[in-house]
Amino acid sequence: MEITRIEARDAALRLLNHLTTGIAFAAIGAVGVLAAVSAATIPGSSPAASTTGSSNTTSTASSDTSASSSDSTSSSSSLQGSSGVSAASGGSGVAVSGASH
Amino acid sequence: MTNSLLWYATRGAGAVTEILLTCVVVLGILSTLRVQTARWPRFLTTGLHRNLALMTLVFLALHIVTAVVDPFTNLGWAAAFIPFASSYRTFWLGLGAISFELLLAIVATSLARGWLGHRAWRLIHWLTYAAWPVAIVHGVGTGTDTWSAWMLAITACCIAAVGVSLVWRLTTSSRDPLAAPRLDFRSAVDRREVR
């Protein structure tokens, strides 16, 4: 009888350890998964955009005629980049908003 | 590490902290109901409650640190510890700071329970019922993902879990087999002290 109770207690303690460890790893994984999901749903701004702010958006319109093809590729690869003008704009200038944290 | 990565980590850690805190509150309510089975003794509920509470603080620390070091918001450490000290979303971040400090007080007094005494510990532990809703309101108010479907689902599940547990707690009488004798004993002691 006494041994059974001790065994039950040991089994419960093992279960507690397993549950705690499992939840800890699941929580670490969940941070990564939810961070990825949040990045996919609301990507926000690139570091460059967030540091330069909206002041760049005004300058792109005036310098659009001199924008080379390399500028257009660099702007398309960045996440809501505020520099450069896309090729699809046809030289009319596209103002891209800055940070949107 | 880029600013965006820090921001994503802040949001991920915030959501996980909300889930863990909800689990802690639900387990705390279940422990007062003395829920147990043959394979799930009561100390398992309280043990898991304690372990998850400590784990919640770790993920809350991750949430706070990544938010503070993110240069976009420029929060500063004071905003994390002094309520309403932040110039960025003052009210909502202030609620977060209040919830953080309440949780800190609850965990610290739980670790020092033997020294503090049961009555004082219990009084402070009641603050959990304030810390959890304040944390939820903080998340809803300032969370970037508040209105995303996945975050709405998480928040709804958390509120439902605590709501069901509370209703169960309020509608179920104590399962303590010694509750009545303990009350009688306490009354007898009180009568003797009066005499």
**HSE-up of residue A77 (Cα within 13 Å, Cβ side):** 6
State mean pLDDT over A1-27: 88
Closest A-chain CA to B62 = A31
Give the count of Cβ contacts less than 8 A between chain A and B.
Answer: 94
Give the residue with greater pLDDT, B61 vs A73: B61
Cβ-defined contact of B51 to A8 (cutoff 8 Å): no
Taking residues B130-148, report their average pLDDT: 91
Cα separation, B30 vs B17, whole angstroms: 20
Give the pLDDT of residue A63: 36
Find the mean pLDDT for residues B85-107.
89
How far apart, in Å, do the first and last CA atoms of chain B sit?
Answer: 71
Given CB atoms, is B153 within the 8 Å cutoff of chain A?
A: no
Q: What is the mean pLDDT of residues B172-192?
A: 72
- Give CA–CA dist B66/B16, Å, rounded: 14
- pLDDT at position B195: 55
Query: B51–A32: do the CB atoms touch at under 8 Å?
Result: no
| pLDDT value for A91 | 38
Considering only residues 53 to 72 of chain A, which have any Cβ-Cβ distance to chain B shorter than 8 Å? none
Specify the pLDDT at position B115: 87
ipTM given for this complex: 0.81
Instruction: Tell me the pLDDT of chain B averaged across its residues.
Output: 87
Of A60-69, B60-69, B143-152, least confident by mean pLDDT is A60-69
- Residue A51, chain B, CB below 8 Å: the answer is yes
Res B73: pLDDT: 74
